[in-house]
Chains A and B, each alone.
Chain A
Amino acid sequence: MTLALPPYARLLGVTVECAGDGPPRFLMPYGVAVMGRPGFLHGGAIAGLLEIAAIGTLMAALEGEAAARIKPVTVTVDFMRGGRERDTFAAAAISRLGARIANVEAFAWQEDRARPIAAARMNLMLGREYDTSLSPAG
């Protein structure tokens, strides 16, 4: 499976790995584009990575629904540890995928997945198109 990332993800240098059946894993390499105060990543870059992971994971789950449109409604980001000058990973899990709304949680970590540096909860609006011929109600 391939996942097309938006121009903003390319600006941050984010890449995605889709291995097997598991959720995709996102990588944001350390570089000047994600630098914040000296020695640390920028909170905005971490939040950007979390949003890319949340939306990308949702896109992967909606694969085949070419007409599905995703619009972020709210995001809450918790910053748990300072991000250091090294690669950052992220992955997301869909808590609920409804007809109109998806609730997604994303985590970012560096050397140890069990020690996240930040997490985000995102609520997104979906514009899914249904095959109404399958539904008796039409």
Chain B
Amino acid sequence: MNDGTKSPARGQPWAVYEPSDAEPWNLCRVVHLHRRAGFSATWRELRRDLKDGPKASVDRVLAGTSRADGVPENFAEMAALLAESARDPERLKAWWVYRMLFGPDALTERLALMWHNHFATSIAKVREAATMRRQNELFRTLGRKRFGELLHGVVRDPALLVWLDAPANRKGHPNENLARELMELFTLGIGNYGEADVKESARALTGWTVADDTFKEDPARHDDGDKSILGRAGRWKGGDLVKALLDHPATARRLAWRLGQEFLGEGAADAAGMKMLADGLRERDLDVGWGVETVLRSRAFFAETNLRTRVSGPTEFVVGAARALETFDAPPSTLVLADWCARLGQDLFQPPNVGGWPGGREWVAAPTMIGRANFAAALVGGRLGRGGAALDPAALATRHGRGGGLGDTVGFFDELLTGGSGSRERVLAALGTLAANDPATVRRAVVLILASPEMQLN
């Protein structure tokens, strides 16, 4: 943990960020905002936000109106069509990638991804794509409400109930799977309950099952006896348990931790800062929307120590690259993009286990770095399905008034993709002194930037 001595965010990490000489509102921070809270942005969007300042920029991110490019007019219709045809895992994954890449509201999709990780459910066991998609819609519609609304919804969600064997948990035959993960992963976190609490909670949840693909509470299967959970005796029912878990202070701490994991880099907030965030959530009835807004506007979020200190997840990386390079006219196949997310370690709708993807440094390993470089080469080379032609990033730079010479072109892509990490010089050196500012060279430059270690951090 960072002791915060270097950071001006010390003391009041959640105060609203105001640009200063030390921490100015610059392109690096605009790119930072969009890589952390969305899936990167186009040059036009970046320039607009640079001009309008942090308040207007974060307002737009929160309102889901930040995307000025690439959102098709008939997006809602198309998304609905794709949803309907998503009857197998591959098309289900492609549907979500379509939403992330083309939808107007990047933050909501990012939060859906965060909740998918928090309530990690896998189609490998649930089987039904439509059931998984309904769960995913829950993350989208309730993802910024009070956590109680989301939790009450998710614990009654058929996909989650099947995933955690709730239908097998009945009076006299308790199955601990749901009870344990509800406490350990979804609310309290390890160390805040005992084994006896798990056993008794499993009894409280007996009778919760799925019939005709909908939640059902079956009184005949419910164990109506006395139970003692977290030090309180009574004839607990499943709903009582969820309420008690929501009231527990450890749940606010876990929620703050989850928001930090999604939006903050290594050492961006210390223990005291995280406690303040948890306290704030608790005072506001675990209002996730408040938590998200507080973090995204905060000094901690825009502090120097929070820039490029978080490993970009595979899906953020894949979708972000496609978006920043404006691959909208002849877009890559979303089926292939989803497959790349899986190859880089994040198989959507199929997390490794109920703990989700641990993220952070675990995303990075030698072969993943090769994988990310290979994705970059395939994207830029137009080898992501639909028989596409290679991208023409040189033309993109020219269109945005850059591209006066190779140095300027490479600088443009360094700024667009990483906010200006300084990879420009190294890429130019790799291209060699004789390299011309031609389409093939510029393609190679973009691949090298996307594959660079700096690009893997946001």
A and B held together in a complex: no
Interface residues of B (CB under 8 A from A): none
Interface residues of A (CB under 8 A from B): none
